[in-house]
């Protein structure tokens, strides 16, 4: 079996940071890098356990699972249609999972993994991510890592940006975190075989073009409310803050709720970072 990877994909595979984010343009080779990296890890560390997550199972099935079926060698691994797991002859396991609602994280209660991989990290909430971090553990002495890939945008855009983009220099690990920017032009395989792909991205509306073609994270600056999808807004409408006292704003969604309910907020609540709000009266 012979596989080639791009320079960026190699950096992702080689990253030893506890948290690595491969983020940016659509088609930069992020998901493919996750699958190759998972395969290498599984072969390198016999008996290792990895979890590959997308927010919903249908997304997982038509993307990562499908690609893994065409990529992973069936001479050394078997895929279980019901368990959604690749089992390798050396005892390693790559499990595919989803985490649709906030409470779905409990599906992974008491499980342990050497590596957890989030594909489309900005589709997850900070609560889900933080909870699942606690599932990265074990006594086998193997590296313990969280590896994520994503486009900008999505419900978790704010917290992902605050965690990896605003405070890190791309390519430089700091406090156990590494951000690797993804550009579609870096994916020589796609550029060669589908040279019109970039032109199709150019036809997108301005904000989608910014996110998917240029992989830019400054999507929502200046117009936060306008930037959220309708389903997000309808979720917001159903959330109620307590009538008085203090609380914590945990997400951009909370921030929108604050806007709608007329409460006063600490400035840091903007763009999804944590801040306090104070209810009037
Ligand atoms: N190393 C590689 N060798 C061969 N093909 C590759 C390689 N890396 C990526 N590709 C192909 O390039 C295309 C885009 O890759 P991929 O789906 O990983 O991009 P992505 O960054 O995850 O895109 P999106 O942001 O849309 O999810 C896919 O068809 C994939 O199979
Ligand atoms: Mg992808």
* Predicted confidence (pLDDT) per residue in 11-26, tens digit: 999 999 999 999 999 9
d(CA 120, CA 31): 9
Which tens digit of pLDDT belongs to each residue from 198-227?
A: 999 999 999 899 999 999 999 876 444 444
> 249: pLDDT confidence band, cut at 50, 70 and 90?
very low
> 252: pLDDT confidence band, cut at 50, 70 and 90?
very low
| Residue 83, token pair as written in the block | 């368990």
Pocket of ligand 1 (CB under 6 A): 4-6, 9, 26-32, 151, 182, 187, 189-190
Are residues 136 and 115 in contact, defined by beta-carbon separation less than 8 angstroms?
yes
Mutate to test the pocket of ligand 1, among 27, 35, 60 (most ligand atoms within 8 A of CB): 27
Mean pLDDT (the chain) is 84
Going along the chain from its start, the domains and CATH numbers come out as 7-212 (3.40.50.300), 225-278 (no CATH)
For residue 190, which atom of ligand 1 is closest to its CA?
Answer: 12
pLDDT of residue 221: 66
What is the number of the ligand closest to the CA of 182? 1
Which tens digit of pLDDT belongs to each residue from 155-164?
A: 999 999 999 9
Are residues 148 and 15 in contact, defined by beta-carbon separation less than 8 angstroms?
no
| Residue 69, token pair as written in the block | 């079926």
- Beta strands across the sheet bearing 275-278: 246-249, 275-278, 264-265
Residue with tokens 């960026």, as numbered in its chain: 8
The sign one gets for the Cα dihedral 254, 260, 262, 266 is positive
**Residue nearest ligand 1's atom 6 by CA:** 189
Contacts with 178 (C-beta within 8 Å, 6 or more apart), sequence order: 15, 17, 19, 20, 21, 168, 171, 172
| Centroid of ligand 2 to alpha carbon of 63 (angstroms) | 7
> 262: pLDDT confidence band, cut at 50, 70 and 90?
very low
């Amino acid at each position: 079996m012979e596989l080639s990877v791009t320079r960026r994909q190699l950096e992702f595979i080689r990253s030893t940071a506890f948290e690595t984010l491969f983020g940016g343009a659509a088609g930069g080779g992020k998901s493919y890098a996750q699958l190759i990296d998972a395969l290498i890890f599984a072969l390198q560390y016999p008996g290792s356990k990895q979890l590959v997550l997308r927010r919903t199972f249908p997304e997982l099935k038509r993307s990562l699972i499908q690609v893994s079926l065409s990529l992973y060698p069936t001479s050394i691994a078997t895929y279980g249609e019901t368990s959604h797991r690749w089992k390798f002859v050396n005892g390693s396991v790559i499990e595919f999972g989803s985490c649709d609602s906030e409470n779905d994280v409990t599906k992974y209660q008491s499980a342990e993994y050497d590596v957890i991989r989030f594909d489309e990290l900005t589709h997850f909430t900070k609560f889900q991510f933080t909870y699942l971090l606690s599932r990265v553990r074990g006594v086998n002495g193997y590296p313990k890592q969280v590896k994520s890939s994503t486009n900008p945008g999505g419900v978790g855009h704010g917290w992902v940006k605050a965690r990896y983009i605003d405070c890190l220099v791309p390519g430089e690990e700091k406090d156990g975190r590494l951000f690797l920017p993804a550009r579609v032009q870096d994916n020589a395989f796609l550029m060669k075989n589908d040279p019109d792909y970039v032109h199709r991205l150019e036809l997108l509306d301005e904000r989608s073009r910014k996110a998917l073609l240029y992989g830019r994270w400054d999507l929502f600056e200046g117009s936060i409310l306008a930037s959220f999808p309708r389903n997000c807004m309808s979720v917001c409408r159903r959330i109620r803050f307590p009538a008085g006292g203090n609380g914590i704003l945990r997400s951009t969604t909370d921030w929108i709720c604050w806007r709608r309910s007329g409460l006063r907020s600490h400035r840091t609540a903007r763009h999804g970072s944590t801040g306090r709000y104070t209810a009037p009266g």
